[in-house]
């Protein structure tokens, strides 16, 4: 039986299985279509799906300050952190003193979602610049909250909306968030006692990490993506991919929950 | 389609107290003589849990009664006293007999110790402690130099309570706690300690619906995932006050202080109000409906 | 009996800006694209004050416009961008040409730097920075070990702004500032920076009576003695928003972004809205009464 | 001309002259008659008098969280920090997040008022215990906020309601707040860069300090107190007091302001 689903649905469903009951998931707010889709909309659907399947006690933190929003009341994807749209959405808590009074540093957040312009083989992420820092070829917004995502959250899902050679590189030009230099051991030596990237999710595949060796590896390749396409779009060697499995297709009942209950108007995942 | 159900965090006060073990280090919510989780404290005494350490900021009857009931081995705080009701009788008596270990910290530093725990730091950098006996007598405070300017500082150890106990206005069954928007020290510290510890046990005046929570999301400063259990305990701060809800019970404070005059009368007090009370409802009946009603306040301030 | 009169802190915006000197390190209130003291920033540009350093948390148009007007020498922050309006054009352009020094800090650490100043510490102890280029490129961040557990930490330098500039809802003539009880990051950070600096210059939407202040004492989080001057500047955050009062001006943001496309058009923009505007009133007339009215919000939340 | 005045009025008027315009004065809340009178009521009257004479911009912080209360609206001296009496008194600000978010440490407070069970020649104060700390002869409440008063406030006025030998001692049994061990130099060596006791005010005299030598000395003796009485009530040597001046008597207009404007019902200073 062949079920029809979109790439966004594929990613959301696979992500949802990563979350355990009782955990707390953190999304920030990105803007611009692809970034917003990957670090806000897909994670929200994935977490809501987890709540409706195996993790009813999962807490969703939306835009850094809205706890367990009623997503069915969304009329559009909010594009500002502090405007009426988020202020007025029904929810179970507003962390108004976020973030400086809150215990994110203590480990309140089980996992988060982040993105950058580059990620490398060790899982380091870059959101600052391409080229020399003091006169860069491309200057981006800055570190923002990524160093915190990569050190104080329990784990980080790196969401990359574009799978291109220049973004998946041997070594990032600027380390905003630290991956696994010399593995978990290396993190510890740097004083990083928790957290780090868990998966890297792209339109073509899902990466995970050999956390001992400190090396990224392909966990699964999305259906209809060729091994050659994947390697050609990636700036570092992927090694032998012959035994790589396909990313698991969504089940019918999972798609039904997404389409009928979580995102009936296609505000989050679109109607593509 | 039927979805899995969320877990409820409501348990009996009796069961909640079972989370406290002999020898634990506990933080008790409230401030001085305000909004202390007294129903919870009474149940600790009822269950005869011993050898506890209280880590506090300013303490009063919630610790004094534990001392008088031989439940405390030590207390780390800036103050044990009853404010307008004078000195804390059991604290003073036990301290002067050397029967309780007292570790003194300044008031602000006591708060900093919880801030350190909240932020996962093992210490807090404190200025202004040099030359005091606070430092001289406390081997856990380490002198160090500011890594940037080399000024003299002291590293004060984080609070690190095993368990935190607070009394709050209301919660839903999932454990989202309502704090009033007009807060003072008692509520501010409650929020802080809930963020300093993974075992926060909460008593509440009222269980409200999840819809009530959704109507007042800006009042949720202690979300369900910072809370281990919720127990219903109306008038749970009695005889301390809950500003906006009820005043402190001056008559009962005086009864307590009189009872603390000697071992025998204190035992009688503990027996009457704790050991021979079945539960919090039974306690409240002993205090009396009319008397409790007389303590209720009018509050139009949200 | 006649008593001596209290001093008033109200001065013209033009005079307030004279408190800023060439080369100063300034903190600018608000957060990202919210509640920025834009009227004040425009007056800085009008008075051609140069060589400034901005110490921030997340920055947007309030810094981008200063960069485009050649007023900034450096910026220390976690973010310069326009959120939903995309990248900050002058920031990006100047950074890529090496014409502005950018010192990167993580978002929470940016806030900690102000907390350090608030508490008179020269540093803040930060965990989790090891291995980042944030540390590698910044000689002012010093690695040190927790004095108690010897865990690896980094000492991040305090913010230490010379001057802080914020835009607020209202103040009385003595300088007591009203903050809404429903606050978000913009107002929280404004309060924090007012406590980090002895030169806090405030613009307000409205001057209210001292009696109004006395009616809402719980809204005074920035008392007069933390404030150096008050200047009236209605719509003083335009084109950024003031949640509960007015929305951001999408049309004007887009005009600004279009103008930032090249030097000539940006000069034209600055000339039209700043150099050839007599004052804030004149600016508001250029934006237009009907257009400003269309931005007003309905807010029943206190 | 002889003007009739009380000891409380004498102290309040002399204190008021110490405050400069634009300063911020901090009072906590004590309980029990004498302590409350000395660290709360007299300071409030002194500060209010300063506001009405030479320091209109002086800010009063009452009970640690009420800014510039309208004292004429007091119907009784409050005896609790957080009850309706203080919540509802008209004022210009309520520092509800006091004290941990506030910039007291940065120097917001110009001066404060404190007391203890002992004070010694160097100006050290004790509020903790008499005798050995771990099994004291007398155990008091603890350090409370005094270490902060003595290190982060600009200066401290020590208010001692009883002038007795056992309270004025060569060396306190426990140093809660540091005076001038080896003078100001000694404070600096301990990391204390600001603050310290300025005056010690008692029912018999006003002490100040030789801050270079780090030694307490009598600044003035109250009218009607004999030199012998003063020395007999003090546990340390006062030295030669022959040239000591009398504490200055209040002026008629000062008493008029206190009695008619500040404390018309005698709620603060009593009617004694």
Helix axes C185-194, C107-118, angle to 10 degrees: 30
Region of B122 (left: φ > 0; alpha: ψ -120 to 50; beta: rest) is alpha
Query: For chain D, where are the alpha helices, taking DSSP H only?
Result: 7-16, 33-36, 42-52, 84-87, 146-149, 183-189, 227-232, 252-256
Strands of C142-145's sheet in order across: C123-126, C152-157, C142-145
**How distant, in Å, are the alpha carbons of B54, C129, C209, D51, D249 from that of C173?**
47, 44, 7, 17, 36
Q: What is the pTM of this model?
A: 0.97
d(CA B275, CA A89): 48
Q: What value, to the nearest 5°, has the Cα angle with vertex A196 and ends A217 and A211?
A: 40
- The 10 Å Cβ neighbour count of residue B182 is 16
The nearest alpha carbon in chain A to B7 belongs to A57
Kindly state whether residues D130 and D51 are assigned to the same domain.
no
Q: Please tell me whether residues D142 and D33 are part of one structural domain.
A: no
Q: Are residues D83 and D170 in the same domain?
A: no
Q: How confident is the model at residue D272 (pLDDT cuts 50, 70, 90)?
A: very low
Measured CA to CA, the distance from residue A244 to residue A248 in angstroms comes to 12
* Domain co-membership, A148 together with A180: yes
| C174 Cβ contact list (under 8 Å, min separation 6) | C6, C7, C8, C9, C210, C224, D57, D92
For residue A22, which residues of chain B lie inside 8 Å, CB to CB?
7, 225
Name the burial class of residue B247, with classes exposed (0-12), middle (13-18) and buried (19+) by CB atoms within 10 angstroms of its CB: middle
Q: Are residues D195 and D148 in the same domain?
A: yes
Total structural domains within chain A:
2
Please tell me the predicted confidence (pLDDT) of residue D165.
97
Does the beta carbon of B218 lie under 8 angstroms from any beta carbon of chain C?
Answer: yes
pLDDT for res A272: 44
pLDDT at B45: 98
Length of chain A equals: 272
Secondary structure class of C32 (helix, strand, coil): coil
Q: Which of A77, A82, A102, A154 to mutate to test the interface with C (most CBs of C within 10 A)?
A: A82
Residue D254: pLDDT band (50, 70, 90) is: very high
Tell me the sheet residues that pair with B76.
B55, B103
Residue D99: which of B112, B113, B78 has the closest Cα?
B112
Distance between CA D17 and CA D242 in Å, rounded?
25
A261 contacts in chain B (CB < 8 Å): 1
Q: Is the pLDDT of residue B245 over 90?
A: yes
Q: Could you tell me if D187 and D175 are in contact, meaning their C-beta atoms sit under 8 angstroms apart?
A: no
pLDDT digits (tens, 9 = 90+) for B85-142: 999 999 999 999 999 999 999 999 999 999 999 999 999 999 999 999 999 999 999 9
| 8 Å CB contact between D247 and D221 | yes
Query: In angstroms, what separates the C-alpha of B148 from chain D's closest C-alpha?
Result: 15
With an 8 Å Cβ cutoff, is C146 touching chain B? yes
Residue C142's pLDDT band, with cuts at 50, 70 and 90, is very high
pLDDT band at A33 (very low <50, low <70, confident <90, very high): confident
Write out pLDDT tens, residues C282-291: 999 999 999 9
For the CA atoms of A126, A131, A137, A139, the dihedral, rounded to the nearest 10 degrees, stands at 30
Q: How confident is the model at residue B301 (pLDDT cuts 50, 70, 90)?
A: low
* Dihedrals phi, psi of B34, to nearest 5 degrees: -115, 135
Residue of A81, A142, A195 to mutate, testing the C interface (most C Cβ within 10 Å of its Cβ): A142
Average pLDDT of chain A is 94
In whole angstroms, what is the distance from residue C125 CA to residue A36 CA? 33
The pLDDT value given to residue B288: 98
| Tokens found for residue B53 | 């350490």
Token pair 């969703």 is found at: A60
Determine the residue among D191, D193, D194 to mutate to test chain B binding: the one whose Cβ has the most chain B Cβ atoms within 10 Å: D191
Torsion on CA atoms D126, D128, D129, D132, rounded to nearest 10: -100
Separation between Cα atoms, residue C214 and residue B252, nearest integer Å: 35
The complex's ipTM works out to 0.96
- Interface check for C160 against chain D (CB to CB < 8 A): the answer is no
Flag whether residue C130 sits within 8 Å of chain A, measured between CB atoms: yes
What residues pair up with C177 in beta bridges, in sequence order? C171, C222
| Spacing of C-alpha A117 from chain mean position | 14
- Structural domain range at position A92: 1-113+249-272
The H or E element that residue D169 is part of is strand D168-169
Q: Which of A1-5, C83-87, C296-300 has the lowest mean pLDDT?
A: A1-5
Q: What's residue A234's pLDDT? A: 98
Structure tokens at C214: 């006395």
Is A147's Cβ below 8 Å from some Cβ in C? yes
Residues A192 and A257 in one domain: no
C207 pLDDT above the threshold of 90: yes
User: Residue C115 has which token pair?
Assistant: 């907390």
Identify the pLDDT of residue A77: 83
CA distances from B35 to A154, B28, B221, C138 (A): 34, 10, 17, 47
Query: What's residue C2's pLDDT?
Result: 82
Q: How many interchain CB pairs under 8 A, B with C?
A: 51
Q: Which of C167, C264, C168 is nearest to C220 (CA)?
A: C168
Which class for B94: exposed (0-12), middle (13-18), buried (19 or more C-beta within 10 A)? buried
Q: Looking at residues B39-51, what average pLDDT do you find?
A: 98
Average pLDDT, integer, range B159-184: 96
Alpha-carbon span C203 to C217, nearest angstrom = 20
Closest CA–CA distance from residue C213 to any residue of chain D (Å): 6
CB A248 within 8 A of CB A14: yes
What is the Cα–Cα distance from C9 to D7, expressed in whole angstroms?
38
Which one of A89-103, C175-189, D61-75, D145-159 scores highest in mean pLDDT?
D145-159
A109 shares its domain with A197: no
Q: Is the pLDDT of residue D45 over 90?
A: yes
Asked if B125 is an interface residue toward chain D (Cβ–Cβ < 8 A), one would say: no
d(CA C183, CA C185): 7
Instruction: For A216-241, give the DSSP string.
Output: EEEEEE-TT--HHHHHHT-SS-----
**Nearest partner of A12 among A269, A270, A205, judged by Cα:** A269
* Domain shared by D154 and D173, yes or no: yes
Nearest to A13 by CA among A250, A263, A198: A250
- A151-185 pLDDT, tens digit per residue, is 999 999 999 999 999 999 999 999 999 999 999 99
D25 & D143 share domain: no
Q: Which of D65, D114, D108, D57 is nearest to D89 (CA)?
A: D65
Of B300 and D15, the structure prediction assigns the larger pLDDT to D15
Categorize the per-residue pLDDT at B12 as very low, low, confident or very high, splitting at 50, 70 and 90.
very high
- CA C30/CA C53 separation, integer angstroms: 17
Q: Which residues contact A39 (CB under 8 A, 6 or more apart)?
A: A27, A28, A30, A113, A114, A115, A159
Residues A109 and A121 in one domain: no
Q: Which CATH superfamily is domain B13-104+160-260+273-295 in?
A: Glutaconate Coenzyme A-transferase (3.40.1080.10)
Residue C47 carries which DSSP code? Answer: T
b or e along A166-190 (b: 16 or more beta carbons within 10 Å of the residue's beta carbon)?
Answer: ebbbeebbbbbbbbbbebbebbeeb
D123 and D32 belong to one structural domain:
no
If we measure between CA atoms, which residue out of C110, C119, C99, C98 comes closest to residue C141?
Answer: C110
Please tell me the total number of residues recorded for chain B in this structure. 302
Answer yes or no: do C147 and B144 touch at CB < 8 A.
yes
Residue numbers of A between 20 and 59 with CB closer than 8 Å to C:
29, 31-32
Query: Which residues, numbered 101 to 130 in chain D, qualify as contacts with chain C under a Cβ-Cβ cut-off of 8 Å?
Result: 101-103, 105-108
Which residue, C197, C242, C260, C225, is CA-closest to C31? C242
What token pair was written down for A118?
Answer: 């580059």
Among A52, A89, A92, the residue to mutate for chain B (most B Cβ within 10 A) = A92
What was the pLDDT predicted at D98?
62
Q: Where are the beta strands (DSSP E) in chain A?
A: 24-26, 59-62, 66-67, 93-94, 111-114, 118-120, 125-126, 129-130, 138-139, 155-159, 168-169, 197-201, 205-210, 215-221, 245-246
Residue whose C-alpha is closest to residue C31's, from C111, C141, C147: C111
CB contact at 8 A, C79 and C102: no
Structure tokens at A220: 């699964």
Which residues of chain A have a CB within 8 Å of the CB of B228? none
| pLDDT above 50: residue A1 | no
* 3-state secondary structure at position A80: coil
Residues of C in contact with B121 (CB under 8 A): 125, 127, 146
Q: Are C120 and D70 in contact (CB < 8 Å)?
A: no
pLDDT in the model for residue D74? 86
Mean pLDDT value of segment D107-132: 97
Which of B123, B146, B155 has the CB atom closest to C122's CB atom?
B146
Query: Which residue of chain D comes nearest to C211, CA vs CA?
Result: D92
Query: Are residues D74 and D184 both part of a single domain?
Result: no
pLDDT at D2: 62
Q: Where are the domains of chain B?
A: 13-104+160-260+273-295, 129-157
């Amino acid at each position: 039986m062949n079920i029809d689903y979109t790439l966004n649905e594929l990613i959301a469903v696979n992500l949802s299985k990563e979350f355990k009951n009782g955990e707390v998931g953190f999304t920030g707010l990105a803007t611009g279509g692809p970034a917003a889709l990957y670090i806000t909309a897909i994670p929200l659907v994935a977490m809501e799906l987890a709540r409706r399947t195996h993790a009813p006690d999962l807490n969703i933190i939306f835009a850094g300050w809205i706890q367990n929003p009623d997503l069915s009341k969304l009329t559009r994807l909010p594009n500002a952190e502090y405007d009426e749209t988020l202020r007025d959405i029904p929810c179970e808590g507003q962390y108004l003193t976020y973030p400086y009074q809150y215990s994110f540093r203590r480990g309140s957040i089980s996992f988060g979602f982040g993105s950058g312009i580059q990620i490398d083989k060790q899982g380091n992420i870059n959101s600052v610049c391409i080229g020399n820092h003091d006169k860069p070829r491309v200057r981006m917004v800055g570190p923002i909250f990524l160093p915190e995502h990569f050190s104080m959250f329990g784990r980080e899902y790196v969401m990359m909306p574009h799978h291109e050679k220049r973004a998946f590189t041997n070594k990032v030009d600027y380390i905003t968030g630290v991956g696994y230099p010399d593995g978990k051991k290396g993190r510890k030596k740097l004083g990083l006692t928790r957290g780090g990237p868990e998966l890297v999710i792209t339109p073509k595949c899902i990466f995970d990490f050999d956390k001992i060796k400190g090396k990224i590896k392909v966990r699964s390749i999305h259906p209809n993506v060729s091994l050659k396409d994947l390697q050609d779009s990636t700036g570092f060697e992927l090694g032998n991919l012959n035994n790589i499995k396909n990313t698991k297709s969504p089940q019918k009942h999972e798609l039904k929950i997404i389409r009928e209950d979580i995102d009936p108007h296609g505000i989050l995942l679109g109607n593509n | 389609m039927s979805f899995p159900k969320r877990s409820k965090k409501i348990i009996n006060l009796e069961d909640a107290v079972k989370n406290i073990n002999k020898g634990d280090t506990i933080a008790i919510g409230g401030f001085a003589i305000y909004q202390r989780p007294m129903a919870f404290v009474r149940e600790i005494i009822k269950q005869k849990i011993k050898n506890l350490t209280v880590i506090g900021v300013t303490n009063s009857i919630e610790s004094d009664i534990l001392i008088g009931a031989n439940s405390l081995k030590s207390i780390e705080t800036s103050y044990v006293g009853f404010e307008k009701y004078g000195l804390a009788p059991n604290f003073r008596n036990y301290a002067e007999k050397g029967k309780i270990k007292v570790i003194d910290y300044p008031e602000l530093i006591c708060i900093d110790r919880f801030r350190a725990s909240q932020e996962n730091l093992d210490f807090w950098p404190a200025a202004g402690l040099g030359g005091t006996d606070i430092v001289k007598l406390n081997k856990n405070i380490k002198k160090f130099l500011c890594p940037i300017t080399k000024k003299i500082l002291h590293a004060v150890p984080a609070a690190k309570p095993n368990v935190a106990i607070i009394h709050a206005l209301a919660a839903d069954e999932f454990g989202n706690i309502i704090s009033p928007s007009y807060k003072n020290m008692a509520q501010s510290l409650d929020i802080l300690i809930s963020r300093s510890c993974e075992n926060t046990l909460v008593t509440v005046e009222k269980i409200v619906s999840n819809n009530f929570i959704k109507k007042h999301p800006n009042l949720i400063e202690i979300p369900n995932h910072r809370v281990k259990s919720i127990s219903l305990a109306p008038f749970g701060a009695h005889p301390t006050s809950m500003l906006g809800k009820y005043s402190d019970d001056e008559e009962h404070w005086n009864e307590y202080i009189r009872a603390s005059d000697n071992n025998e009368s204190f035992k009688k007090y503990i027996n009457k109000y704790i050991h021979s009370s079945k539960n919090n409802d039974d306690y409240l009946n002993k205090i009396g409906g009319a008397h409790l009603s007389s303590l209720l306040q009018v509050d139009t301030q949200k």
